[in-house]
Chain A
Amino acid sequence: MIEVRNLTKRFDDVVAVRDISFQVKRGEIFAFLGPNGAGKTTTVNMLTTLLAPTGGMIRIDGLDPVKQSNEVRKRFGIVFQDPSLDGELTALENLQLHCALYNVPREERGRRMEHLLRLFELWERRKSYVKAFSGGMKRRLEIARCLLHTPKIIFLDEPTLGLDPQTRHQLWNQVRKLNNEEGVTVFLTTHYMEEAEKVAHRIAVIDHGQIVALGTLDELKQKTNTETLEQAFLALTGSTIREESASSKDRMRTVARLIRR
């Protein structure tokens, strides 16, 4: 479903992603696990047509995100690391906008929106402005939204960042259910070990823009001779704390977060 070969992304003098290769099978839940600044989001941005790679090859359902971007875009749904809803619109309006952008058949829109809003327990709040939603509700709405056009693949970029344990638990249950019942391929990134452990079929550990290990949970533990994924993770990536260089964009993001409150 996803095929990546020798993918590289360079920003000016920083190499964010360095020559990575992997494959994600149809119907698989695949986790990108790595510390902050490891290159997870950069990889997701390249897979989802938002960034052009510096080198290497990507195929999404056999298509090239650079040359066939619109065809690729129809096939996936994405939940970004930061909310991407319009707070001045209601939940329902946000979904309607998505339906229009993705050209969801008119006669199906009402039914699908209702189904997903009920599934994510937001039906009662469909007419509320999104700016009044809690972090968890926004996340649920975003996941509901990314499923509206029945994508084959969903990308979840640190979807549980800042959520409480209840919401996280519920969110992963729904993701697993979608994967089980509808065969949706899931590509997720996280730096929470237990999440990767719980939901992912296979895990790629990424650090400094490189994949340092890839396999099932058991394979990773075996490879590093450790008992838990946490130990395996630390064995693979070391235990020093990463200094991310904060770009102006990051600073703006902080400002935006403050304002949003």
Chain B
Amino acid sequence: MNCIYILWIRQLKRYFRARSRLLASIGQPLLYLLALGFGFGPIFQKAGQGSYIQFLASGVIGMTLLFTSVFSGMELIWDRQFGFLKETLVAPVPRILIMIGRTLGGATVALLQGLIVLAVCLVAGFRPIGFESIPLALLFMALIAIMFTAFGTAFASVISDFQGFQLVMNFLVMPIYFLSGAIYPLTNAPKVLEWIARVDPLSYGVDGLRGVLTGISHFNLATDLVVLGLLSAGFVVLGGYLFSKVQV
């Protein structure tokens, strides 16, 4: 337990000490929120779908969680290059505990970023249906964060350089984001997109979050929660397994 705590607190310390990273990672969601939110807003409204900001907010929060978590998970690559990873690999602690500590740390960082973006959304005009929905929203956010941090750790365990990181970012993370229904409603989307969204883990996260915050969801909350819970557990197991196989 000791070692889970110390690795968790390490991630938080690193996060709070790197202020530029904090700002940089909020920049992109902010851009999406403002450019898409206000740019497409009128069209969305004309199409009879209501307020776009209201719809988009959950998507942008989901995006922040996705990007920050995957990045946190993949910080493993940095730790490998800068040598720190070895310090944890020779420690007399089961690897799975190290992986859990890292994952919780990364997920906490992502959750904090998500909360900051939620606050920004509120400023931009987003209104959740009620504040009693916040705890459930937090649960969804935490699950998204844990799932994708473990996802990042899993990948970082098998690839060892920055090029691989770029590959994952461009060919996995971007599609996961764009095809998840984060920025467009799945209800009237072409069948193909709808089906793709069904195999995209983020879809369930964003949908659940949107359901909780705005009362409108495409799948239903129970499905979202079950799928998300299973996937999170699955990725933690997979990440833990691959991490335990890491050699230098």
Contact = CB atoms under 8 A, between A and B. Distances in A.
B13 A83 contact: no
Contacts of B84: 84-86
Contacts of B94: 70
Contacts of A49: 90
A80 interface: yes
Interface in A75-105: 78, 80, 82-89, 93, 96-98, 100-103
Given A70-B92, A80-B83, A88-B17, A97 B6 contact: yes
A256 B82 contact: yes
Interface residues of A, number: 35
A51 B247 contact: yes
A82 B87 CA distance: 11
B160 A78 contact: no
Nearest to A88: B14
A93 B14 CA distance: 12
B83 A85 contact: yes
Contact of B81 (A73, A102, A103, A252): A252
Contacts of A93: 10, 13
B92 A87 contact: no
B214 interface: no
Nearest to A90: B13
Nearest to B248: A50
A242 B158 CA distance: 30
Interface string A240-261: 0000000011001101100010
Contacts of B13: 88-89, 93
Interface of B: 2-3, 5-7, 10, 13-14, 17-18, 81-94, 160-162, 247-248
A-B CB proximity, top 7 nearest: A100-B6, A73-B92, A101-B91, A84-B83, A256-B81, A74-B92, A70-B92
